[in-house]
Amino acid sequence: MRKPIVVVGSINLDLVVGADRIPQVGETIIGNSFNTFYGGKGANQAVAAAKLGYPVSMVGNVGNDAFGTQLRDGLENAGVDTTYVNTVEGASGVALITTGRRGENNIVVVPGANGQLTPKLLEKAATILERAGFLLAQLEIPLETVDYLAQFAERHDIPLMLDPAPARELPTALLRRLTWITPNETETLELLKTNFENGDQGSYAAAERLLDCGVKNVLLKLGSRGCLIAQGTLVKERIPAFSVDAVDTTAAGDAFNAGFAVGLMRGSTVVRSAIFASAVAAISVTRPGAQPSMPTGNEVDRFLEQHSITTAQEPSYTRQAR
């Protein structure tokens, strides 16, 4: 039997305003649309992996409000096991999102119930955590819980991929326990507190610094520029993004992480898994919303066929010795 992917993270209701552009500080503009979508970085990753056809369990919290029931139902309808989703006193997590015409966004998250996902609740989920083939986490839950998870992963020799979002500094002890870290450009700056030059050279330098911090494998997410992989084994690769018309990039990173984890769990190479992840993310940006934008496995296969990428060939990309 396949070991499940277990996602430990946030579950939010996204309140999304579509506007021509993101307003500036102090500015009022007229929006074009308002929608609610199921979101939360953790739940998005869980739903994306489940829609790709991989067994997924979610460990997280919803509040005992009306949103909580809807959010749990949303996860279950997508095929995510919610046995370890707790209902706690108080409001569910929400995210206030504005999207602009070119797919860009800004987001304010109010964690609510996600802030009550304590290490104690992870202890209660030990049975599923121990069975995990891959653990995925993000930073919309308390840092002490992520730290507990990293120690658990190390003790049980289970790979852990951390999406360090929203951006913040992290203790070196935590970084050393990660199998993969997958920051975007803002998160990389925040982690390293250093500005790097624009373009590939700056990204390579940033990835190298993260390896120096003790993370085993680094995957930098570079938006429409694609992604860059750096591993302790002296390999660095940049994989371009697919060219698509983006309407909403919310949760592109979540789609990517889920696709990457599913690829690796299915035994694909790192590069092939990153190409698969890029396809999952590219499809997601062509659709509005977080969880509704996640593609099925068949949709990704069709997309890859249309872009002349078959499973037989391993495309070659820039590869540099460190």
| Contacts with ligand ATP, residue ranges (CB under 6 A) | 165, 184, 221-224, 226-227, 241-242, 244, 246, 249-254, 256, 278, 281-282, 285
Q: Which is nearer to ligand RIB, 41 or 177 (CB)?
A: 41
Q: Which does 249 bind (CB under 5 to 8 A by kind): ligand RIB, ligand ATP, none?
A: ligand ATP
Q: Which of 237, 316, 242 is nearest to 286 (CA)?
A: 242
Query: Taking CB under 6 A as the rule, does residue 284 contact ligand RIB?
Result: no
The residues facing 162 across adjacent strands are 137, 181
Task: Show the binding pattern over residues 93-112: x = contacts ligand RIB (CB under 6 A), - = does not.
Answer: --x-----------x-x---
Q: Which does 140 bind (CB under 5 to 8 A by kind): ligand RIB, ligand ATP, none?
A: ligand RIB
Query: Taking CB under 6 A as the rule, does residue 7 contact ligand RIB?
Result: no
Q: Which range, of 9-17, 65-73, 78-86, 189-197, touches ligand RIB by CB under 6 A?
A: 9-17
The count of C-alpha atoms lying within 13 angstroms of the C-alpha of 256, restricted to the half-sphere facing its C-beta, is 31
Pair of tokens at residue 71 = 């959010």
198: left (phi over 0), alpha (psi -120 to 50) or beta: beta
Residues 80 and 54: their CA atoms lie apart, in Å, by 9
Choose which of 46, 68, 129, 140 interacts with ligand RIB (CB under 6 A): 140
Residues 79 and 88: their CA atoms lie apart, in Å, by 22
Torsion sign over Cα 186, 175, 149, 216: positive
Question: In the chain, what is the straight-line distance between the N-terminal and C-terminal CA atoms, in Å?
Answer: 39
Q: Which does 145 bind (CB under 5 to 8 A by kind): ligand RIB, ligand ATP, none?
A: none
User: Which entry of 81, 163, 248, 254 is annotated as an active-site residue?
Assistant: 254
Q: Which is nearer to ligand ATP, 146 or 285 (CB)?
A: 285
Query: 275 and 237 in contact (C-beta within 8 Å)?
Result: no
Query: 92 and 11 in contact (C-beta within 8 Å)?
Result: yes
* Cis amide leading into 166 (omega within 30): yes
Amino acid at 25: V
| Catalytic residue status for 81 | no
Choose which of 5, 8, 41, 51 interacts with ligand RIB (CB under 6 A): 41
Q: Which is nearer to ligand ATP, 57 or 284 (CB)?
A: 284
> What is the binding site for ligand RIB (CB under 6 A)?
10, 12, 14, 39-41, 44, 95, 107, 109, 140, 250-251, 253-254, 290
Which residues participate in catalysis according to the annotation? 254
